[in-house]
Protein backbone atom coordinates (compact mmCIF):
# COMPACT_ATOMS: atom_id res chain seq x y z
CA UNK A 1 0.00 0.00 0.00
CA UNK A 2 2.79 2.44 0.89
CA UNK A 3 5.82 2.98 -1.27
CA UNK A 4 8.33 3.47 1.50
CA UNK A 5 9.38 5.57 4.43
CA UNK A 6 11.03 8.94 4.87
CA UNK A 7 12.97 9.11 8.14
CA UNK A 8 13.05 12.60 9.64
CA UNK A 9 16.18 13.69 11.48
CA UNK A 10 14.22 13.67 14.73
CA UNK A 11 13.02 10.10 14.15
CA UNK A 12 16.59 8.94 13.47
CA UNK A 13 17.80 10.61 16.67
CA UNK A 14 15.02 9.03 18.75
CA UNK A 15 15.65 5.63 17.16
CA UNK A 16 19.38 5.72 17.96
CA UNK A 17 18.57 6.26 21.65
CA UNK A 18 16.50 3.05 21.85
CA UNK A 19 17.83 -0.26 23.12
CA UNK A 20 18.65 -2.93 20.53
CA UNK A 21 15.64 -4.96 21.67
CA UNK A 22 13.27 -2.03 21.15
CA UNK A 23 14.87 -1.22 17.79
CA UNK A 24 14.04 -4.77 16.67
CA UNK A 25 10.42 -4.22 17.72
CA UNK A 26 10.35 -0.94 15.78
CA UNK A 27 11.69 -2.66 12.65
CA UNK A 28 9.05 -5.37 12.97
CA UNK A 29 6.33 -2.74 13.42
CA UNK A 30 7.50 -0.81 10.35
CA UNK A 31 7.52 -3.98 8.21
CA UNK A 32 3.99 -4.74 9.33
CA UNK A 33 2.92 -1.14 8.70
CA UNK A 34 4.31 -1.29 5.16
CA UNK A 35 2.66 -4.65 4.44
CA UNK A 36 -0.69 -4.20 6.19
CA UNK A 37 -1.36 -0.80 7.80
CA UNK A 38 -4.75 -2.02 9.01
CA UNK A 39 -3.34 -4.93 11.00
CA UNK A 40 -5.09 -4.87 14.40
CA UNK A 41 -1.86 -5.08 16.43
CA UNK A 42 -0.71 -1.72 15.05
CA UNK A 43 -3.77 0.09 16.39
CA UNK A 44 -3.20 2.75 13.75
CA UNK A 45 -5.23 5.89 14.31
CA UNK A 46 -5.21 9.57 13.51
CA UNK A 47 -4.11 11.57 16.50
CA UNK A 48 -6.73 13.80 18.09
CA UNK A 49 -6.12 17.51 17.74
CA UNK A 50 -3.83 17.16 14.71
CA UNK A 51 -4.59 17.72 11.07
CA UNK A 52 -2.56 14.87 9.62
CA UNK A 53 -0.47 13.01 12.20
CA UNK A 54 -1.03 9.32 12.80
CA UNK A 55 0.27 6.88 15.40
CA UNK A 56 0.90 3.14 15.66
CA UNK A 57 1.79 0.96 18.62
CA UNK A 58 5.19 -0.67 18.89
CA UNK A 59 4.29 -1.99 22.35
CA UNK A 60 2.10 -1.03 25.29
CA UNK A 61 4.26 2.01 26.05
CA UNK A 62 6.05 2.68 22.73
CA UNK A 63 4.65 4.58 19.76
CA UNK A 64 5.61 5.75 16.29
CA UNK A 65 4.12 8.94 14.90
CA UNK A 66 4.02 9.70 11.19
CA UNK A 67 2.36 11.61 8.39
CA UNK A 68 1.15 10.24 5.07
CA UNK A 69 2.42 12.06 1.98
CA UNK A 70 1.02 10.47 -1.17
CA UNK A 71 2.28 6.90 -0.83
CA UNK A 72 5.21 7.64 1.53
CA UNK A 73 5.11 7.57 5.32
CA UNK A 74 7.05 10.41 6.91
CA UNK A 75 8.25 9.00 10.23
CA UNK A 76 8.28 11.78 12.83
CA UNK A 77 9.00 10.26 16.25
CA UNK A 78 9.47 6.96 18.02
CA UNK A 79 9.52 6.51 21.77
CA UNK A 80 7.59 6.14 24.97
CA UNK A 81 3.89 6.94 25.03
CA UNK A 82 4.61 10.48 26.23
CA UNK A 83 5.83 11.47 22.73
CA UNK A 84 2.16 11.80 21.91
CA UNK A 85 2.01 15.02 23.92
CA UNK A 86 4.06 16.67 21.16
CA UNK A 87 3.86 14.38 18.11
What predicted TM-score, i.e. pTM, was given to this entire model?
0.89
Map out the domains of the chain with their CATH numbers. Answer: 5-85 (3.30.2310.20)
Is the pLDDT at 24 greater than 80? The verdict is yes
Average pLDDT, the chain: 92
pLDDT digits (tens, 9 = 90+) for 71-83: 899 999 999 877 7
pLDDT, position 74: 97
pLDDT at residue number 85: 74
Burial class (CB in 10 A: 0-12, 13-18, 19+), 26: buried
- Closest to 57 measured CA to CA, from 71, 86, 35, 37: 37
Could you tell me which of 26, 31, 42, 19 has the C-alpha nearest to residue 78? 26
What pLDDT sits at residue 86?
73
Mean pLDDT of 60-70: 93
Give me the mean pLDDT over the 51-78 stretch. 94
Amino acid sequence: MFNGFFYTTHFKKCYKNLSLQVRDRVKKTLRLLADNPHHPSLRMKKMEGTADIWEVWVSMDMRITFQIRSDVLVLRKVGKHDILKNP
